[in-house]
Amino acid sequence: MENVALVVGARGVIGTNLVEHLASLPDWKVIGLSRRGGTDVPGRVRHVAVDLLDPDDTRTRLSGLTDVTHVFYVAYQDRPSWAELVAPNLAMLVNVVDAIEPVARGLRHVSLMQGYKVYGAHLGPFKTPAREDDPPHLPPEFNVDQQRFLAERQQGKAWTWSALRPSVVGGSALGNPMNLAVAIAVYASMSKELGVPLRFPGKPGAYDALLELTDAGLLAKATVWAATTPAAANEAFNITNGDLFRWSELWPKLAAWFGLEVALPLKMSLQDVMADKEQVWKQMQATHGLAATSYAEVSSWPFADFVFGWDYDFFADSSKSRRAGFHEYVGTEQMFYRIFEDLRRRRIIP
């Protein structure tokens, strides 16, 4: 039986890799939803532009998608405060399910992308290792509201749901506000261009905290696994690379990849110090023959500041997914090198 995937949020760092992975599988067709749409791949990937915050537009755009069997929800809209995140992010999920459930009679699964915000990781030091059955924290938290909606909606239905909880996701997609690897690559490339060593810019305690990341390709595989494995039905799973690291150990290695020396860490806001660097970026493009990528597309400075500010341990227990049958892993150091090499191959960085 052919599987038809509806990837909601197909242009982000997670969605881009998920679409690519699904399109590489022999028994899947892919429909990608995003605000901007995209370029179709005949016979494999079709893109649809839709305003998910508009229930009428969502219903209209999705009305003809009667053959969808799996919904992969990876969409996200940012807002200034945690409380303001709830309404739009819950509404988008509700609008998608309201639109697709009545027309896709063969719907078998709805996959929800979450994160460690479920555990309160964004608020400060939290219990580590975090586990899927840890109690929730005081609201607001849109991830919890989204999962509650799906679990309640699924009652008595033929379809099932799953929730994936990655750490910070590593990928090379551009134009995403939460792309740490691209931020590091641009920061390092610019440091080299300006003739300065690569300093860790985060809080002093963050340099020695214990962390983990999640490769976007690994996450894509885990997402499809959870959506097609009976043992994973109606469950949440932490998905991580499988190793732990400290910036104090990894940072010099990343610097060495760029041919840079490392100086002592210096706490500084990348959002502030990189605010005036657009002309430097344009000069680098001219000097090194780089692709015409706008500075905005490679600027994830607020998110990088956020991650580099974690002066506490940041990791979860991912053994539940292994017990259920998912056994793949990725070395975090190698993940960074692969992303940097991809950015260099695409002429994004010199």
CA 125: distance to chain centroid? Answer: 22
- The mean of the pLDDT values for the chain is 97
Tokens of 87: 């309404």
The Cα diameter of the chain in Å comes to 63
Do 308 and 203 touch, CB atoms closer than 8 A? yes
Give the ranges where the chain is alpha helix by DSSP (H).
13-24, 55-62, 82-100, 142-154, 180-193, 216-228, 247-257, 270-273, 278-288, 301-308, 319-324, 332-345
Return the CATH architecture of domain 169-213+244-315+329-346.
3-Layer(aba) Sandwich (3.40)
Q: Cα(165)–Cα(143) distance, rounded to whole angstroms?
A: 10
pLDDT tens for 44-58 read: 899 999 999 999 999
According to the model, what pLDDT value does residue 255 have?
Answer: 98
Mean pLDDT of 71-84: 95
Give residue 186's pLDDT band: very low, low, confident or very high (50, 70, 90): very high
**Hey, what's the torsion of the CAs at 186, 187, 190, 192, to 10 degrees?**
-110
According to the model, what pLDDT value does residue 42 have?
Answer: 81
Residue 67: pLDDT over 70: yes
According to the model, what pLDDT value does residue 218 have?
Answer: 98
According to the model, what pLDDT value does residue 177 have?
Answer: 85
pLDDT tens for 120-178 read: 999 999 999 999 999 999 999 999 999 999 999 999 999 999 999 999 999 998 988 88
pLDDT tens for 202-217 read: 999 999 999 999 999 9
pLDDT tens for 21-33 read: 999 999 999 999 9
The answer to whether the Cα torsion of 341, 344, 346, 348 is positive or negative is positive
According to the model, what pLDDT value does residue 137 have?
Answer: 95
pLDDT tens for 329-340 read: 999 999 999 999
Mean pLDDT of 30-38: 93
According to the model, what pLDDT value does residue 34 have?
Answer: 95
CA–CA–CA angle 18, 109, 95 (5° rounding): 85
Mean pLDDT of 212-223: 98
According to the model, what pLDDT value does residue 284 have?
Answer: 98
Tokens of 306: 């956020």
According to the model, what pLDDT value does residue 21 have?
Answer: 97
Domain residue ranges in the chain: 3-167+214-239, 169-213+244-315+329-346
Give residue 299's pLDDT band: very low, low, confident or very high (50, 70, 90): very high
CATH superfamily of 3-167+214-239: NAD(P)-binding Rossmann-like Domain (3.40.50.720)
Same fold, 3-167+214-239 and 169-213+244-315+329-346: yes
DSSP string, 164-230: EEESEEE---SS-TT-HHHHHHHHHHHHHHTT------S-GGGGGS-B-EEEHHHHHHHHHHHHH-G
Residue 1: pLDDT over 70: no
